[in-house]
Amino acid sequence: MNIAGGNYYCLIAGLPEISPDDKKLSLSVHELRSYLNDYLSREEVDIINLFFYPNDNAQILRLLQKQEADPSLQTVFTVSQLEDEIEEPMFLPSYLKEYLLDLQKEDRETSKRLPEVELSERYWNFMLSQKEKLVRKYAEFSLNVKNLITALNCRKYHIDIEKEVIGDSYFVNQLKTSRAKDFELSDDYPYVDEVLALFDKDNTAEREYKIDMLYWDFLDEATGRKYFTFDNVIAFMLKLMILERWSKMTTEQGRAIFRELLERFRTGYKFSNQFDI
């Protein structure tokens, strides 16, 4: 994996500075992906694409349910490619290909889980198996946070936690079995207390924003002082994805997303949505 002998200086130096307080972005996620395609190797682009596969998951589920494709989703594969892959999976990542092939089996047992949950679990297992260390660390952190929020909502709405959380880690097993407020996880995972504190806030938008800032802090800590590395390229993209999400809150689409989010918190919602990246 190389850019001019492993030197990412020129690539990163060409990116704008971003901070959590940015409201107006000089670069979109779509523009960044195009920019990276010109600089990165094929293998590196494949790693960047890992973080966009949840959009392909969502698009495929829409197509399987005979719904119109969502043009706003920033997928890796085009809609026509996904339609072809549904008929004959060939080029999709292994977890998605296996999911579609399993759907085609005549003797397939009917899953008791929502398709979104089943596919999310396959995706996260796929992420946790990647060679790139930061991808694995990010996947573990992200899955833990999402599972924790899901477990807390299950407690609040008296829903069986075991049916809603995904994965088979120590963290997940604690969520399933512990009755302690912090699931006996705070000592090993300091961010658990931060999520617990945020969960008690009534302001849903503030809660969501501060959880996103936990991701930002995680990325800062994970990349440290290694400013001109591929890890920093990944971290920059993930931060830009956070900023772009919040910049959309000023648009009608953003307000609609927020209203939907608020409604989920009020009614107990579909927990599978927690497992979007």
Percent of the chain with pLDDT over 70: 87
Give residue 269's pLDDT band: very low, low, confident or very high (50, 70, 90): very low
Angle between helices 204-223 and 252-267 (to 10 degrees): 100
pLDDT (tens digit per residue) in 212-260: 999 999 999 999 877 899 999 999 999 999 999 888 876 655 566 556 6
The C-alpha atoms of residue 77 and residue 199 are separated, in whole angstroms, by: 36
| pLDDT above 60 for 105 | yes
pLDDT at 274 (0 to 100): 56
Tokens of 144: 């833990």
pLDDT at 65 (0 to 100): 96
Tokens of 139: 């996947």
The C-alpha atoms of residue 120 and residue 165 are separated, in whole angstroms, by: 10
pLDDT at 253 (0 to 100): 56
Please state the separation of Cα 123 from the chain's center in Å. 10
Percent of the chain with pLDDT over 90: 72
pLDDT at 1 (0 to 100): 44
| pLDDT above 50 for 167 | yes
| pLDDT above 60 for 277 | no
**97 and 89 in contact (C-beta within 8 Å)?**
yes
pLDDT at 206 (0 to 100): 86
Which one, of 249, 254, 240, lies nearest residue 52 by Cα? 240
Give residue 272's pLDDT band: very low, low, confident or very high (50, 70, 90): very low
The C-alpha atoms of residue 256 and residue 78 are separated, in whole angstroms, by: 25
Average pLDDT, the chain: 89
| pLDDT above 80 for 51 | yes
Query: For the chain, how big is the Rg over CA atoms in Å?
Result: 19
Give residue 130's pLDDT band: very low, low, confident or very high (50, 70, 90): very high
Q: How would you classify residue 52: left for phi > 0, otherwise alpha for psi between -120 and 50, otherwise beta? A: alpha
Tokens of 204: 């849903």
pLDDT at 134 (0 to 100): 97
pLDDT (tens digit per residue) in 19-33: 998 888 999 999 999
